[in-house]
Structure 1
C-alpha cells in the first residue's frame, strides 16, 4: 500500500537534522540575549539611559523605543531580530530547494515521471516548508516561555504564542516567494535571491517607515510590519497583519502551481 503524501513525508524526514540545527541556533541566541534583561532592562536602567542618549530617529529605525520593557526587549532582540533572521533564512533555503533545487538535481523530473501531478508537487512541497517553519515558530514560543520567568520579562503567554505565529507567518511568506520564483525559473539561486529581497526589503521598509509619520504608509507594503507593527508581545494577536500574511502566502502557492504547470521542464 502506497503511503499518503510521499513528497511531504520525504521532505520532512530529510530535513530533521536541519530543523534541529535551526532550533539550536534559536536556543543559542535566546539564551544569549533574553537573560540579560534583568541587568539592562527597566525604565531607569543602563540600557534605557543609553537608548535615551541616541537620536530619536535612530531609535525608531532600530525599533528600540520600547526596549526597556520585557515585551519590547524580547521583540527587539529576539522575535524581531535574530529569531526573524534565522527562521527566514531557514524558510528561504527550504523554499528554494523544494522546487528549483529539486529541478536542478533532476529529482523533480523523476518525481513527475512517476505520475505525481505538478499541482500535487507544489502543494506537498509548500506544506512541508510551512510545517517546518511552524515547528521553528512553536519552538521559539516554548523557548521564550521557558526563559520568561528567569529573565524577568513578565510576558503574557498567549501574547508569546501570538508572536510565535507572527514569526512563522512572515518567515513562511519569504519561503513562499522562493517557492514561486523557483517554480517560475527553475533556478535555485534566483529563488534564494528573491526570498532574501523580500525579507530584507520588508525589514528596511519598516525601518524607514518608523522614521516619520509622513512615511507611515510604507508599513502597508512591508511584510515585516504586517507581523510586528501591532506589537503582539504587548497587545496580542495582530489579526489584520496575520490575515495579510496568510492571504499573500496562499496567493504565492497558487502562483507557484500555475508557474510550474505552464513551464516546460526540459528547457
Structure 2
C-alpha cells in the first residue's frame, strides 16, 4: 500500500464510486425538480406575488430578494438551499468516515501498519474528500448548464462556474472540519458534530445577520455569507466574490494542517 502513489486517496476513491454516483444523481434530481419550473412561475408573476407577501427580513434571510430573476431563483432554490444541504451531508459523511470512522472500525491501525505515515493519512484524507466533492460539484455544474437554456434562466456560464465553486468551497469547509475533528478525537460522532456545526452555524449567522441592524455583525462570521452574499451566480467572480472564497479556502488550509498535526500527536485507539 505504501509503495504506490497516494495510496489512501486511491483506496478511498475506489470505495466511493457508488456513493459519488448516488450523490451525483441526487444533485441532478434536485436540478430537475427546481429549475425547469422557473419559466411558468416567473412568467405568471407567482414568484413576485409570493415574495411581496412575506416580511422583508424573511425575504432577505431566505435569499428571495432576487428570486424573480433566473440567477436569484437558481441561487435561492438550488445552490443556496437543496444543493447546499445535499453537498454538506455528503461532505460531512465522507469527512467523518475518513479518520474518525476508520479509527472506530479499526481500519486506521491497519492502514498505519502498512507504512503510511500519520500526516500522510490526514493529508490524503483531505485530498480524497476534495476530489470527491469536485466530482459531484462538476456534475451539478453540468446539470445547471444543460438546463439553463430550456429553463430560460439566462445564466452566464462563467457565473455558473463561480456559483458552483462557491458552493464547493462551502461544503468542503464542513467536510474538512469533520476530518480534523476525527483526527483530533478518533470519534466519528465528534466528526459529524464538528462538520454539521460549521454548516448550521454558518447558515444561522447568515440568517441572523439579515434580520436586523443590531445582528448584522454576525454575518461577518458566516462562511455561508462569505460564499453567497457577493451573489456569484449573478455577478461571477466579481463583486468581492474572490475575497469570500479566499477566506474559506484559507480556513480549509488551516483545517488540513490541524488534522495532520492532530493525528500525528495522538495515540491511536
**Same fold judged by TM-score > 0.5?**
yes
Count how many residue pairs are aligned between Structure 1 and Structure 2.
265
Q: How does 1:98-109 map to 2 (within 5 A)?
A: 98-109=98-109
Which whole-Å deviations, capped at 9, do the CAs of 1:173-212 have from their partners, x for residues lacking one?
0000001111111110110011111111111110111122
Which secondary structure state, in structure 2, belongs to the residue aligned with residue 116 of structure 1? coil
Deviation at 1:137, TM superposition (A): 1.4
Residue 254 of structure 2, aligned match among 251, 254, 263: 251
Which secondary structure state, in structure 2, belongs to the residue aligned with residue 264 of structure 1? coil
Distance 1:7 1:123 in 2: 9
The alignment's TM-score, normalised by the length of structure 2, stands at 0.96
Distance 2:31 2:213 in 1: 32
Distance 2:114 2:53 in 1: 64
Deviation at 1:8, TM superposition (A): 0.4
Which secondary structure state, in structure 1, belongs to the residue aligned with residue 211 of structure 2? coil
Distance 2:211 2:204 in 1: 11
Distance 1:139 1:102 in 2: 28
Partner of 1:41 in structure 2? Answer: 42
Distance 2:42 2:222 in 1: 29
Distance 2:68 2:210 in 1: 18
Partner of 1:241 in structure 2? Answer: 244
Q: How does 1:148-163 map to 2 (within 5 A)?
A: 148-163=148-163
* 1:113 partnered with 2:113: yes
Deviation at 1:134, TM superposition (A): 1.1
Q: How does 1:88-237 map to 2 (within 5 A)?
A: 88-237=88-237
Aligned residues of 1:40 and 1:47 also touching (Cα < 8 A): yes
Partner of 1:79 in structure 2? Answer: 79
Partner of 1:15 in structure 2? Answer: 16
Partner of 2:6 in structure 1? Answer: 5
Deviation at 1:4, TM superposition (A): 1.0
Q: Which stretch of structure 1 is more off in the superposition, 78-87 or 132-141?
A: 132-141
Point out where structure 2 has 5 or more consecutive residues left out of the alignment.
none
Which secondary structure state, in structure 2, belongs to the residue aligned with residue 20 of structure 1? helix
The alignment's TM-score, normalised by the length of structure 1, stands at 0.97
Which whole-Å deviations, capped at 9, do the CAs of 1:133-188 have from their partners, x for residues lacking one?
11111111111000000000000000000011111100000000001111111110
Distance 1:54 1:178 in 2: 36
Which whole-Å deviations, capped at 9, do the CAs of 1:67-94 have from their partners, x for residues lacking one?
0000000000000000110111000000
Output the aligned Cα RMSD.
1.2
Deviation at 1:226, TM superposition (A): 1.1
Aligned residues of 1:136 and 1:168 also touching (Cα < 8 A): no
* 1:264 partnered with 2:250: no
Point out where structure 1 has 5 or more consecutive residues left out of the alignment.
none
